[in-house]
Amino acid sequence: MTEIYCDSFSMLIRSSLSEKYGLGASLTRKCSELFSSLLDQCQTKECCEIAAEFLAHTEAEADELEELRRYELNCEYARFFRSRGLKLEPSGDIEARMEKLQNEIERLHKIFSQSLTYLVKSDSKEVYSYCLQLRHELTMIITMLSEVSEQENQQKAFQDIVELLQRDTTSLANNFYQYPCENSHIYAM
């Protein structure tokens, strides 16, 4: 188990698939908290609708990831009992990849802690752009977790999460197409 710290935001990169899904769910819930905070602070009906839609999608994704976590945890318990004892899988040295992930986590932390403060909560275009940026950052951190994962099934799990996030982000972008982002290339997945 490798720990990653970023000021007050820390996580553990673990070896089991259920823990990887749990980490994805935790990151997604963190984004949900931010969308919820944004929703509480929005000053126009249009901004509230945008934040509420992003919040609903993100909460649904977190729920789906939590279900996958529970399923994988049950599978891990079943393998443990079938093997009559835990077989630990060897973990390789991942320090170089962890440093890259650490930088991404620090960037995500800055979004969590600072960006919301400066957001004009009555400007629907700005709220929309902010929501897309946050989803993009979440997708990027999950992509990084895939790269850190050493086992193919874990990489696939994170790639599945990325595809889920990308699909829902595309759906959200289509719902609010009247708010084109000036820097829309930043949000391309």
Report the pLDDT value the prediction gives residue 116, as an integer from 0 to 100: 78
Q: CATH number for the domain including 133?
A: 1.20.1260
Report the pLDDT value the prediction gives residue 5, as an integer from 0 to 100: 45
Residue 10 pLDDT > 50, yes or no?
no
> Degrees (nearest 5) of the Cα angle 114, 166, 12?
55
> Degrees (nearest 5) of the Cα angle 52, 159, 180?
40
Strand segments (E) across the chain:
2-6, 9-13
- Tell me the Ramachandran region of residue 142: left when phi exceeds 0, alpha when psi lies from -120 to 50, beta otherwise: alpha
Report the pLDDT value the prediction gives residue 63, as an integer from 0 to 100: 93
Confidence of residue 40 (pLDDT cuts 50, 70, 90): very high
Residue whose pair of structure tokens reads 């443990």 in the numeric block: 80
Task: Domain of residue 163: give its range.
Answer: 2-187
Contact, 131 vs 35, CB < 8 A? yes
Q: pLDDT tens-digit profile of 59-100?
A: 999 999 899 889 988 888 887 777 777 654 444 444 555 566
- 152-177: average pLDDT: 83
Average pLDDT of the chain?
A: 75
104/39 Cα distance (integer angstroms): 25
Q: Which two structure tokens, joined as six digits, stand for 171? A: 């759906």
Confidence of residue 33 (pLDDT cuts 50, 70, 90): confident
Q: Which two structure tokens, joined as six digits, stand for 87? A: 């077989």
- 163-168: average pLDDT: 88
Report the pLDDT value the prediction gives residue 172, as an integer from 0 to 100: 85
Give the chain's domain count.
1
At 98, phi and psi to the nearest 5?
Answer: -65, -35
